[in-house]
Amino acid sequence: MHDDEQAIRNLIASWIEASADGDVERLRLLMADDVVFLTPCQAPLRGRDAFMAVFEKGLQHYRIDARSEVREVRVVGDSAYCWTHLTVTITPTKTGLPMRRSGDALSFLQKQAGGNWVIVRDANMLMPEPAPAGSM
């Protein structure tokens, strides 16, 4: 496996771990200032600060547990894309049932001057999973 591909796989693993830990500073380092997140039925979320505000607000009410399966990484010079399948469980910290979403995500990455990779665009198609039988 090429070093850049492994670095991108490590970035995805770091993102999952930092999200679970609520480590906002670590997440901040994994994305470009002008990052854009695209999700179903939502306006684009533009910029690292906008993402961080939404994420930090969410941490006040929810715990995030995610799993990812990297399906493909392609590197072309200092640009790359990564296709992953994600399963995310969002659990209220006080009361309520966990919500589970799953689907595919396509991330575009850029290699920085120091050699580290950051997410510059991310489109995810996570949709709610149906509640298990008997959970109502």
What is the chain's length? Answer: 136
> Residue 63 corresponds to which tokens in the numbers above?
């715990």
3-state SS, one letter per residue, for the chain: CCHHHHHHHHHHHHHHHHHHHCCHHHHHHCEEEEEEEECCCCCCEECHHHHHHHHHHHHCCEEEEEEEEEEEEEEECCEEEEEEEEEEEEEECCCCCCEEEEEEEEEEEEECCCCCEEEEEEEECCEECCCCCCCC
Tokens 């209220």 correspond to 92
Mean pLDDT of 28-46: 96
pLDDT recorded at residue 130: 74
For residue 134, the model assigns a pLDDT of 60
Query: Which residue has better confidence, 1 or 25?
Result: 25
Q: How far is the C-alpha of 115 from the C-alpha of 4, rounded, in Å? A: 9
Q: What is the mean pLDDT of residues 66-80?
A: 97
Please name each of the domains of the chain with its CATH number: 3-125 (3.10.450.50)
2 pLDDT more than 90: no
Q: What's the mean pLDDT when you consider all of the chain?
A: 94
More confident residue, 131 or 106: 106
Tell me the pLDDT tens digit for each residue of 80-124: 999 999 999 999 999 999 999 999 999 999 999 999 999 999 999
> pLDDT tens, 4-26?
999 999 999 999 999 999 999 99
pLDDT for position 129: 85
Q: What is the pLDDT of residue 1?
A: 67
Q: CA 61 to CA 123: how far, in whole Å?
A: 24
> Between the CA of residue 102 and those of 48, 68, 97, 124, 126, what are the distances in Å?
23, 10, 16, 9, 5
